[in-house]
Copies of this chain bind each other. A is one copy, B any other.
Amino acid sequence: MAPERLTVGVAARLSHYLQVLTQTRKMGHDAISSQEISEFTHINATQIRRDLSGFGKFGKRGVGYNVDALIGEIRRILRAAGQHNIAVFGAGNLGQAISRSSIFADNGFNIVAIFDTDPSKIGTSVGDVEVLAFDRVDQVVRERNIIVGVLAVPDNAAQPVADSLIAASVRVIFNYSGALLHVPSGVTVHTSNPVVELLYALYFHLA
């Protein structure tokens, strides 16, 4: 019944359900219906039920899904049960906000290094993590088994940082700068862009 390999669409949707479930658990809820997940994800409730039923019968008719159990099932399907080490680049306002947020830690992503080029920041701490000199990227990525780089740097620094990460064998980059990054195939870049969402939300609200 379950496919060998998830399609991109299914994997993306399962990740989205997992986020909602994680937050739902934090709020102390035990069960959730496909309709409730739909309200938060904007994904059709029938689609949600079908995505899940492809891997097993996780729900209880008349009740919904057990939040804890479903988190476990989706983590297993996404092979996301483990811990992963990530690094943040840039110890400015954005880098500090990311580093102090629990959103990554809640989902098994441990921030194990913060890099900056400003000598006055190097050696200071953000939360529990020390700010390291950017020229140590290669060494630290290897030693601490960092598999994701999060860019919270100015636009003009984003490409050089990405290049360094790729040279150090990092294959997943999360880009919070506005810059468009050129990367070789095999490297995944996700660029965060609030304006995309705003523009199209406003189209439907102002028209």
Of the four ranges (under 10, 10 to 19, 20 to 34, 35 or more), the interface on chain A belongs to 35 or more
A135 → chain B, closest Cβ, in Å? 24
Residue from B16, B23, B80, B102 in contact with A202 in the complex, judged by beta carbons closer than 8 Å: B80
Q: CB-CB < 8 A to A205: which residues of B?
A: 147, 171-172, 188
The count of identical subunits is 2
Closest Cβ neighbor of A96 among chain B residues: B93
Segment touching B, from A5-13, A44-52, A61-69, A138-146: A5-13
Residue from B6, B192, B196, B206 in contact with A12 in the complex, judged by beta carbons closer than 8 Å: B196
Closest Cβ neighbor of A93 among chain B residues: B97
Q: Pick 9 A–B contacts, CB within 8 A, sort by A.
A: A15-B196, A16-B193, A19-B196, A23-B178, A24-B180, A92-B97, A104-B195, A109-B195, A150-B194
A60 → chain B, closest Cβ, in Å? 22
Q: Does A1 contact B (CB under 8 A)?
A: no
The answer to whether B190 and A172 touch across the interface, beta carbons within 8 angstroms, is no
Q: CB-CB < 8 A to A18: which residues of B?
A: 196, 199
Listed from nearest, the 10 A-B pairs whose CB atoms lie closest are: A93-B97, A94-B97, A15-B199, A15-B200, A11-B200, A190-B197, A15-B196, A93-B93, A93-B96, A188-B201
A182 → chain B, closest Cβ, in Å? 8
Q: Chain A 80-117, CB within 8 Å of chain B: the 1/0 string?
A: 10001010000011101100111110110100000000
